[in-house]
C-alpha cells in the first residue's frame, strides 16, 4: 500500500508543491513545479467530511446519521469546507420575517430530502 500524498507541510502547515512525478509502469519521470489539488490540501477531518458528504449525495440527513452529528454541525462543517476550497459561503440571513420563513422552508425541504443541496443553495441565493 502506498502512502497518501501530503498536501500540507507537516512542519509549518503551508501548502506544498509537487516537484517530481514518476510512472511506475514505464518509469517516466517528470520534474517541475506542479500545484497540489484543492482537496489534497484540506486537513484530514475536512477530507473525511467531504467524502461522507459525497457518499451521501449531499443529503444532510444522511450525513447526520453517518457521522452521528446534528444538523447545525453538518451545516457548520459544510460552510468551513466550502471556505477552505476557496469559495464564498452564503450571506448572513436578513431579519426580514418573510425571507426567514422562505429560508426555513427551503432548509426543511433539504433536511427532509425533498431537494438536493445544490437546489437549496440556488434557492437560498435567490432570496
Return d(Cα 34, Cα 76) in angstroms, integer: 32
CB 51 within 8 A of CB 81: no
One domain for residues 47 and 82: yes
DSSP result, 75-87: HHHHHHHHHHTT-
The model's confidence at residue 36, banded by pLDDT at 50, 70 and 90, is: confident
One domain for residues 52 and 80: yes
One domain for residues 10 and 29: yes
Q: Which single residue is written with the C-alpha cell 457518499?
A: 55
* Domain extent for 72: 42-89
One domain for residues 68 and 99: no
Number of domains in the chain: 3
One domain for residues 12 and 24: yes
One domain for residues 17 and 56: no
Return d(Cα 52, Cα 67) in angstroms, integer: 8
* pLDDT tens, position by position, 48-58: 999 999 999 99
* pLDDT tens, position by position, 68-126: 999 889 999 999 999 999 888 766 556 677 888 888 899 999 989 999 988 888 888 88
Amino acid at each position: 500500500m502506498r502512502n497518501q500524498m501530503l498536501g500540507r507541510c507537516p512542519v509549518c502547515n503551508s501548502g506544498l508543491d509537487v516537484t517530481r512525478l514518476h510512472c511506475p509502469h514505464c518509469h517516466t519521470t517528470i520534474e517541475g513545479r506542479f500545484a497540489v489539488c484543492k482537496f489534497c490540501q484540506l486537513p484530514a477531518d475536512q477530507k473525511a467530511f467531504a467524502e461522507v458528504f459525497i457518499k451521501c449525495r449531499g443529503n444532510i440527513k444522511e450525513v447526520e446519521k453517518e457521522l452521528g452529528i446534528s444538523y447545525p454541525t453538518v451545516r457548520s462543517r459544510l460552510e468551513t469546507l466550502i471556505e477552505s476550497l476557496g469559495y464564498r459561503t452564503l450571506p448572513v440571513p436578513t431579519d426580514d420575517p418573510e425571507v426567514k420563513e422562505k429560508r426555513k422552508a427551503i432548509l426543511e425541504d433539504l433536511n427532509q430530502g425533498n431537494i438536493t443541496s445544490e437546489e437549496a443553495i440556488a434557492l437560498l441565493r435567490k432570496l
